[in-house]
Amino acid sequence: MVQIKIRQARYDEPAVVELVAENMRDLSERYGGTGDDTPIAAADFLPPDGAFFVAVRTGDDGSDGPLVGSAGWRRHGTDAELKRMFTLSAARGHGVARRMLAVIEESARDAGCTRVILETGDKQPEAIALYLSAGYERIEDFGYYQGHEGVLSYAKKIL
């Protein structure tokens, strides 16, 4: 069984930067271009206005192994916007994304946010299925990709 722990991380940590680059390669394969041109800065994920988390594979002895997933949130008024939700293909199917989503919701709730909002695309059916099964509902599109073909926006009340 794959052992995973989730920890808070800085968005600009070298291992995080490498994982986010893999996320962008995955999105680029699905959508073309750079994958995602949404402006993001490491400061977006600093408490109390955001947080970033990584999933770390652990060894049998409890030692940290490679990063296998990530997710962060940044504040938009009373909302927390989910960003950079990603699981490496080798770690998919083990509940990593569901655990990451729960951590994001808890962190945002603890920071006083009342719902989590997100943008995804129609070429990410596994992400859409996760969000729907976790209680997210379609909302009017917002953000960087508002009005673009294939964009899908979701929200979930967390308070």
Predicted confidence at residue 61, as pLDDT, reads: 82
CA-CA distance, 137 to 14, in Å (whole number)?
34
Q: Residue 86 — very low, low, confident or very high, per pLDDT cuts 50/70/90?
A: very high
Mean pLDDT value of segment 142-157: 93
Q: What are phi and psi of 91, to 5 degrees?
A: -105, 0
Per-residue pLDDT tens digits for 14-28: 999 999 999 999 999
Q: Quick one: tokens of 151?
A: 């964009």
Predicted confidence at residue 13, as pLDDT, reads: 97
pLDDT: is 31 or 62 the higher one?
31
Residue 90: CB atoms within 10 A of its CB come to: 11
Predicted model pTM: 0.94
* Strand partners for 122: none
Length of the chain: 159
pLDDT > 60? residue 1 = no
Burial of 48 (0-12, 13-18, 19+ CB in 10 A): exposed
Sign of dihedral through CA atoms 5, 72, 47, 12? positive
Q: What are phi and psi of 127, to 5 degrees?
A: -70, -45
Helices 125-133 & 96-110 angle (0-180, nearest 10) = 50
Q: What is the CATH number of domain 4-157?
A: 3.40.630.30
Predicted confidence at residue 2, as pLDDT, reads: 61
Per-residue pLDDT tens digits for 89-137: 999 999 999 999 999 999 999 999 999 999 999 999 999 999 999 999 9
* Strand partners for 119: 153
DSSP-assigned states of every residue in 98-109: HHHHHHHHHHHH
Per-residue pLDDT tens digits for 36-78: 999 999 999 999 999 999 999 998 887 888 999 999 999 999 9
Q: Quick one: tokens of 137?
A: 């509902």
